[in-house]
Amino acid sequence: GAVVSQHPSWVICKSGTSVKIECRSLDFQATTMFWYRQFPKQSLMLMATSNEGSKATYEQGVEKDKFLINHASLTLSTLTVTSAHPEDSSFYICSPSGTDYEQYFGPGTRLTVT
């Protein structure tokens, strides 16, 4: 499978601050990047989809001004959680996709907002 890295793997921040999560596809070019969120004991929820060089498309109910996504290159995408609140505490996972239908997942970033 593909090699995907995420940084940081976990982060604790105070309410009102912003957190940036980096996702890198190390061995293939990610033309599309999917960002997911997973709350405890729940399945993955797609937050947004971005294509390299384009603005992200957000799923219904996801605030685009709160979750800023940048997909500037084929190997790097970032998700910034702005003005984080405790309800944003979750497991954030990126999933790069290439020219086929297979999706691989990053190791995830566990965000805790206090």
Partner 1 sequence: QKEVEQNSGPLSVPEGAIASLNCTYSDRGSQSFFWYRQYSGKSPELIMFIYSNGDKEDGRFTAQLNKASQYVSLLIRDSQPSDSATYLCAVNGYGNKLVFGAGTILRVKS
- x/- letters, 6..45, toward partner 1 (CB under 8 A): --------------------------x-x-------xxx-
- x/- letters, 83..102, toward partner 1 (CB under 8 A): --------x-x---x---xx
In terms of phi and psi (left: phi > 0; alpha: psi -120 to 50; beta: otherwise), the region of 27 is: alpha
Among 8, 16, 53, 107, binds partner 1 (CB under 8 A): 107
Q: Is 87 helix (H, G, I), strand (E, B) or coil?
A: helix
Q: Are 19 and 7 in contact (CB under 8 A)?
A: no
